[in-house]
Amino acid sequence: MNPNAPVRVRYAPSPTGYLHVGGVRTLLFNYLYARKHGGTLILRIEDTDQARSTPEHERMLLGDVVELGIEAEESPGKGGPHAPYRQSERLPIYGRYVQQLLDSGKAYHCFCPAEMIAEKREAALKLGRTPVYDGTCAHLPQELVSRRLSAGEKAGIRFRAPNRSYLLEDAVRGQVEFKAGTVGDFLITRSPQPHEKEIGTGIGMPVYNFCCVIDDALMGMTHVIRGEDHLSNTARQLMLYEAFGFKLPVFAHTAMVLGSDRQKLSKRNGDSAARDYLEQGYLKEALLNFLTFLGWNPKLEQKESLKPRSGHAEILFMDELIAAFDLTGLQKAPAVFDLDKLKWMNAQYMKLLPAETIASRARPFFEKCDLPEVREGLKGVSEEWFVRMVDLLRVDHGLLSDLPLASKVFFNDEPELSVEARLAVVEGNSVPVVTALKNAIESAAEPVTQEAFEAIQKQIGTQLNVKGKALFIPIRVALTGQVHGPEMKKAVPLLGKSRALSRIRAVEKQLHAV
């Protein structure tokens, strides 16, 4: 690879459903590297598996990419100098390169049925041997091949794998050796299924490893950053690069991600669609920040120079991640998907992002919540009031989805006194604080501002000679019926004098009830 060539990287998913977190991490690493080096990110759809790939799945996947705010310069939607960007639209291109291998004798037709190949593979494994193709069709006369194809027999095409070792200089794993004999002649096209068309006479449908090499070479990829699970494909791809005389990109195979139980990532331990996390109330900024640190860390010298705006070494906004990201920070050891860490990170972003952003993201959770009093209550308030309320609540809640329930405190004029709250006031001999609060609010000017309420609290503390929890807990109980909740000096201006009094009277009545 030319070290001075502009960086070109790609994310190439198969459209089989929503975008899962493992795919997001791969996309993110490529995005960060492209942005760091002023390069280009290509989004390519690998949909040659027509049985599993559907337009609807592609729409879902691309929608998730947009939702996460990651933008590619070249894609099926945007187009670009190497269009088309769907493999299903590139079949004639693959056909030409398959024919080139056939003409040069580097590939041949294989008529072996899949069942026979599976049986031979199973037999080799039982004998403790590496299952490689035994060459049944490797030396068929061309006349016989032509006759069988003319008779309607279907065939795949196999690449003649050189019987020698290959070395890969991987940007993450260092030197990786693929020893001779571990890869036999492999399929570059398969027999077409009944619903599929051949890409050329007797050529069949191209398979992943072949399409991947052709596309990466023709689209000018300088770096291929992908998961460790693709390392086993690389030997075959190196052979194809060599056969065509293509320049090799830099390969970087990133660490495997394990679940919190240190087992393979699954739905049970973190492997969910990105959309699932967003719908649970996680912020995309937190999810992307968290996934970046799964298998990557800044180099030591970068850590020492980093001065994150958040004040925390692992809470980095996107521009900071771009500035810090480099392939040398990618790690070999498996990374653990720690859901508790994600929750913590999300709670930090709940506090760090602008209140207007949190309010806008939270709005859909309010609109679909199953709390009628909240939905009805919001109809009568302004956007400015809503933002102030969310700004107050977000400090103590880690997810957007937590906010509607927490907001009940603002929409119930007669809060129900919890057992804990009753005990705190009665056993603490704090009923006089509730009475004093009622009297002070009754005589207060309207509106009751934050400053005015702070003065009321100070007045009650002096009058009754109480302070700290003995003062603040009964005041919160009087206004909310709960021991825990938002700061009352900020909540009361949102409640207003009338609603605050209504609440205090309702709580006072419950405190005096036998």
Instruction: Name the CA dihedral angle for 69, 74, 78, 81, rounded to a multiple of 10 degrees.
Output: 170
Give catalytic residues, as residue numbers. 267
* CA quadruple 380, 386, 388, 389: dihedral sign: positive
Q: Are 273 and 18 in contact (CB under 8 A)?
A: yes
Q: Are 433 and 467 in contact (CB under 8 A)?
A: no
Q: Are 455 and 493 in contact (CB under 8 A)?
A: no
* Rounded-to-integer distance, Cα 235 and Cα 176, Å: 10
Q: Are 288 and 366 in contact (CB under 8 A)?
A: no
Burial of 407: CB neighbours in 10 Å, binned 0-12, 13-18, 19+: buried
* Rounded-to-integer distance, Cα 272 and Cα 275, Å: 8
Tokens, residue 209: 């490893």
Residues 6 or more apart in contact with residue 263 via CB below 8 angstroms: 269
Tokens, residue 213: 């090499």
Q: Helices in 245-352 by DSSP H: which ranges?
A: 274-280, 284-292, 300-305, 318-324, 339-352
Which of these, 247, 275, 358, 378, lies nearest to 63 by C-alpha position?
A: 275
What letter would DSSP give residue 75?
A: B
Q: Are 188 and 209 in contact (CB under 8 A)?
A: yes
Residues 6 or more apart in contact with residue 464 via CB below 8 angstroms: 432, 433, 436, 471
* CA quadruple 314, 222, 20, 295: dihedral sign: negative
Q: Which amino acid is present at 338?
A: D
Task: Please state, in angstroms and as integers, the Cα–Cα distance from residue 480 to each residue in 477, 498, 501, following that order.
Answer: 5, 14, 11
